[in-house]
Amino acid sequence: MYDAISCPEGSFLKSKEVVDTACAVIGLDCGEGFQCLCRPCEIPNELQCIDSVPIGDSCVQLYIFIPSIILPILLLVGIIVHYYVEYKRKQSDSVWIVKIDELDFGDGSATIIGQGTFGLVLLAEYRGTQVAVKRVIPPGTERDSLFDPRKSSSKWSASNDSWGGGGSILEDVENGNAITGPMNRGMKSRAPNTIMNSMMQSKVMMSTQYNRKRGVLGFCFDSKGDDNTQLYLKSEFVAEIRQLARLRHPCITTVMGAVMPSRKDDPMLIMEYMRYGSLFDVLQDDSIVLKPEQILDILKDVAQGLRFLHSANPPVIHGDLKSQNVLVDENLCAKVTDFGLSGKTHIGAVGTPFWMSPELLQGNCVNSPESDIYALGIVIYEIYSGRPPYEGERYSDVVKQVCNPKINKRPPVPLHCPSKVAKLMNECFARDPLERPSAEYVDMTLKVEMKVKERTSRLEALNADLAIANNKIASSSNATSTLCIYVS
């Protein structure tokens, strides 16, 4: 009987002698033929647990104990790490976060220096430095805004030429929905200027529920507004500004900071102010005469800036490269601006139609490095011709002919464009995106052309100096001869 006794875990079996006398000790007597068992097991003063952990008066199995301890520790470590990362991020963000009251727009009406994607670009002073301030997502409220083009009666006021409907630009043209107004001031499809105009005039904003099946350019507008879209764009802006604020290159516009989105303020981008404004303004200014080497130098700056953007990880796609989005400083150095913001790119393929590649016009894809290169080809034409592409031509005809593979319409080679640059421009216009050169190739080609021009200029200068020296020697010889004849 003793051998059959099994004690529960954490207790031990008493000796046989103790078990046999235990019942008699407590006064229990079993009848004849029976054997009594009284308290054969005993719990020691110190709990003994096998493959378990003693907790209180019981033993807890290891497979229960270990997770119950490890998981809270891991959770605590995770919370600490999260708050540390957030602290370091806020510490890093404090470098570029700008408070709205730090911007001085002047005592009177704000000075308008341009028109951006979603509103006017204003001149302001930030910590004693002149800066350009622009809105970077569609307006989401009815509140009064400095950036509303309707407030301005200047040349930057919003026009009535705006796009409507969905589908691709080519579909709009073929269906007769396209506006045939002037295009050379940068009329854009779906996003930048003209879509901004329609949003400002109708007080509407983009809806996230756009129909991709109708083409990458197709989306809807909700006159009541979409709070979810606004929140999404604002969160995207915060993520992207962290990337843009780290981009530093002599040939891209420096992002000095940003006004963070809040209930009162839309997110705004604070950029360095460029004295001469856009390259478009420089090309249209008759008082500024650019020398051939200056033109090539500006083009090289644009190519370098685009190469830098495309080389980022992930690549930064410009999406609307044109002369209006290239700024020029007092030294005639060019810098690429208005690049890489989701307020534009999340609504599908964007750009200005005359600068957009055929695949974008047809709605076959979204913006890519290759579509940026096509736009760079148009910029080359602008720089050497001094005027916008297809000036004076009917808009709908141009779009159809650019998309038609049999016609394959492109701007002609400008009269004073160097042959190597002209070849490069035509390579940028390749119908197949894969056949277009990379930004790196364009940059390297222009650098080689610059070196050739510099050597040619030095030789020309040397020849001019030699000619002047020869003239002086000849003049001096004539004077000596004349003097000798006079003395004799």
Query: Which of 384, 358, 381 has its CA nearest to residue 371?
Result: 358
pTM score, whole prediction: 0.67
Residue 58 φ/ψ, nearest 5 degrees: -135, 165
Say what the pLDDT of residue 374 is: 97
Whether residue 127 sits in one domain with residue 18: no
Which residue range forms the structural domain that includes residue 116? Answer: 100-449
- Counting the structural domains of the chain, the total is 2
Asked, for residue 469, whether it belongs to a domain, the answer is no
Report DSSP state, residue 45.
S
Q: Is 409 in contact with 402 (CB distance < 8 Å)? A: yes
Say what the pLDDT of residue 160 is: 34
Whether residue 140 sits in one domain with residue 12: no
Whether residue 13 sits in one domain with residue 145: no
Asked, for residue 231, whether it belongs to a domain, the answer is yes
Asked, for residue 158, whether it belongs to a domain, the answer is yes
Whether residue 233 sits in one domain with residue 105: yes
Task: Please list the ranges in the chain whose pLDDT falls under 70.
Answer: 10, 27, 33, 43-48, 50, 57, 108, 115-119, 137-167, 177-230, 233-234, 263-265, 340-349, 479-488
Whether residue 39 sits in one domain with residue 116: no
Whether residue 182 sits in one domain with residue 44: no
Whether residue 394 sits in one domain with residue 281: yes
Give the SS3 label for residue 282: helix
Q: Pseudo-torsion of CA 287, 288, 291, 294, nearest 10°?
A: 180
pLDDT tens track for 329-360:
989 999 998 876 544 544 555 778 999 999 99
Question: What amino acid occupies position 107?
Answer: D
Residue 294 sits in a domain of what CATH number? 1.10.510.10
Query: Which of 298, 247, 296, 289 has its CA nearest to residue 272?
Result: 247
Whether residue 383 sits in one domain with residue 270: yes
Asked, for residue 54, whether it belongs to a domain, the answer is no
Q: Where would I find the H helices in 213-291?
A: 227-244, 279-284
Question: What amino acid occupies position 70?
Answer: I
| Contacts with 427 (C-beta within 8 Å, 6 or more apart), sequence order | 377, 435, 436, 437
Whether residue 25 sits in one domain with residue 134: no
Asked, for residue 194, whether it belongs to a domain, the answer is yes
Asked, for residue 76, whether it belongs to a domain, the answer is no
Asked, for residue 69, whether it belongs to a domain, the answer is no
Crossing angle for the helix pair 369-385 and 292-310, to the nearest 10 degrees:
170
Whether residue 306 sits in one domain with residue 199: yes
Say what the pLDDT of residue 463 is: 84
Give the SS3 label for residue 150: helix
Asked, for residue 77, whether it belongs to a domain, the answer is no
Whether residue 424 sits in one domain with residue 320: yes
Whether residue 107 sits in one domain with residue 42: no
Say what the pLDDT of residue 237 is: 73
